[in-house]
């Protein structure tokens, strides 16, 4: 009974409220990205990362207070993997050599600790490298969207191509907006997750579009809206099952993967949820608004081809 109801659900009846919600979410995301901006990590801003290990669990507040007292109020201090491991991120300081800066921080941490500490890692990213990563990361997303636009246009039809890119832009903007609103750390791993979200969302959209094209050629006495609705109903079980199993893995990464992978897993969780929604509503609704019809996807008849020959 439930399966029958699911296979006959009128998804397109909700397309206008869904698009209104999407536009509101995108607007909120853009406003946040312009005003609050992204909380970019050291990969993009440059600076130092110092990872130290303690012999027992340690509180972060005394470390933050000690760093602030020494003039490192902008330092980000967090547990890394366990309560006995601490990760410190420092913004670039042009007045100090990076080796001198790291030695000063390590000495400070040792002075406020009653037990010896172990230095696990010291990394430095220069401001110039951070600028290059920011530019290259933005170009990577842009090139991916252009390549997808061309691919879908060749495989299907240009209105499907524009619809799929509209859905991908929707997914990327909302995912970035959530990171901006919540001020989650945005680093290279999150950028990689954004690119993975583009691929995941496109895969879902292609499945729906492929069924739409097939039904346009098989079903003759239905409107474009009805055919799209039928196609979504035929593919929804596959879409939801894929999203559910993917989310199970991502939630495991989020809760069990440790601090280092939280931002990456968060971006993918947001992207999978938003991408599943956009493949059902944003991509198909955009194609319908652009005027996709059965005649655009029909294969030419052999007789017509022979008549057209000189």
Q: What is the CATH number of the domain that holds 138?
A: 1.20.1640.10
Q: Is 143 exposed, middle or buried (0-12, 13-18, 19+ CB in 10 A)?
A: exposed
Same domain for 246 and 159 = yes
Among 125, 153, 171, the domain boundary falls at 125
Same domain for 178 and 232 = yes
Structural domain includes residue 308: no
* Cβ contacts of 43 within 8 Å, gap of 6 or more: 125, 130, 133, 187, 188
Same domain for 58 and 165 = no
Domain of residue 86: give its range. Answer: 47-125
Among 90, 125, 160, the domain boundary falls at 125
Mapped onto helix, strand or coil, the DSSP state of residue 81 is coil
Structure tokens at 78: 């967090």
Same domain for 238 and 147 = yes
Structural domain includes residue 2: no
Same domain for 254 and 150 = yes
Q: How many domains does the chain divide into?
A: 2
Structural domain includes residue 3: no
Same domain for 198 and 107 = no
- Looking at residue 69, which CATH number applies to its domain? 3.30.70.3400
Same domain for 19 and 85 = no
Report the distance separating Cα 160 and Cα 169, nearest Å.
Answer: 14
pTM of the full predicted structure?
A: 0.79
Same domain for 146 and 106 = no
Same domain for 247 and 290 = yes
Among 81, 103, 125, the domain boundary falls at 125
Structure tokens at 157: 């039809």
CB 120 within 8 A of CB 91: no
Per residue of the chain (310 residues), give pLDDT as tens: 444 445 678 899 999 999 999 999 999 999 999 999 988 877 777 788 888 999 888 888 888 888 888 888 778 888 877 788 888 888 776 667 777 788 888 888 888 888 889 888 888 776 666 677 778 878 888 888 888 888 887 877 888 888 888 999 999 999 999 999 998 988 888 988 998 998 898 888 989 988 988 888 888 788 889 999 999 999 999 999 999 999 999 999 999 887 778 899 999 999 999 999 999 999 999 988 888 877 766 655 544 444 444 4
Q: What does the pLDDT read at residue 33?
A: 94
User: What is the distance of C-alpha 237 from the center of its chain?
Assistant: 23
Same domain for 291 and 168 = yes
Q: What does the pLDDT read at residue 265?
A: 94
CA dihedral 178, 183, 184, 186 (to 10 degrees): 90
Q: What does the pLDDT read at residue 178?
A: 96
Alpha helix (H) residue ranges in 257-301: 262-280, 282-289
Q: CA gyration radius for the chain?
A: 25
Q: What does the pLDDT read at residue 57?
A: 87
Q: What does the pLDDT read at residue 43?
A: 74
Same domain for 146 and 19 = yes
Same domain for 97 and 165 = no
């Amino acid at each position: 009974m439930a399966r029958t109801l699911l296979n006959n659900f009128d998804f397109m009846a909700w397309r206008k409220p869904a698009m209104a919600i999407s536009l509101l979410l995108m607007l909120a995301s853009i406003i946040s990205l312009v005003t609050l901006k992204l909380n970019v990590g050291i990969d993009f801003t440059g600076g130092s990362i110092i990872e130290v290990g303690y012999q027992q669990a340690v509180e972060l507040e005394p470390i933050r207070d000690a760093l602030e007292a020494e003039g490192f109020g902008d330092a980000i201090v967090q547990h890394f993997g366990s309560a006995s491991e601490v990760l410190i991120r420092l913004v670039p300081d042009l007045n100090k050599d990076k080796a001198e800066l790291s030695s000063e921080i390590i000495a400070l941490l040792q002075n406020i600790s009653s037990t010896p500490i172990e230095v696990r890692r010291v990394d430095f990213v220069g401001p110039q490298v951070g600028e290059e990563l920011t530019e290259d990361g933005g170009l990577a997303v842009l090139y991916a969207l252009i390549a997808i636009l061309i691919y879908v246009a060749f495989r299907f039809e240009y209105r499907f191509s524009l619809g799929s890119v509209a859905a991908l832009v929707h997914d990327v903007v909302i995912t970035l907006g959530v990171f901006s609103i919540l001020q989650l750390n945005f680093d290279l791993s999150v950028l990689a997750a954004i690119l993975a979200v583009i691929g995941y969302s496109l895969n879902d959209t292609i499945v729906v579009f492929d069924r739409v094209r097939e039904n346009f050629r098989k079903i003759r006495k239905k409107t474009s809206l009805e055919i799209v609705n039928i196609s979504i109903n035929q593919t929804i079980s596959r879409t939801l099952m894929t999203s559910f199993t993917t989310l199970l893995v991502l939630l495991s990464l989020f809760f069990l993967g440790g601090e280092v992978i939280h931002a990456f897993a968060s971006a993918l969780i947001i992207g999978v949820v938003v991408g599943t929604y956009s493949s059902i509503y944003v991509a198909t609704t955009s194609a319908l608004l652009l005027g996709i019809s059965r005649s655009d996807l029909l294969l030419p008849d052999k007789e017509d081809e022979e008549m057209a020959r000189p």
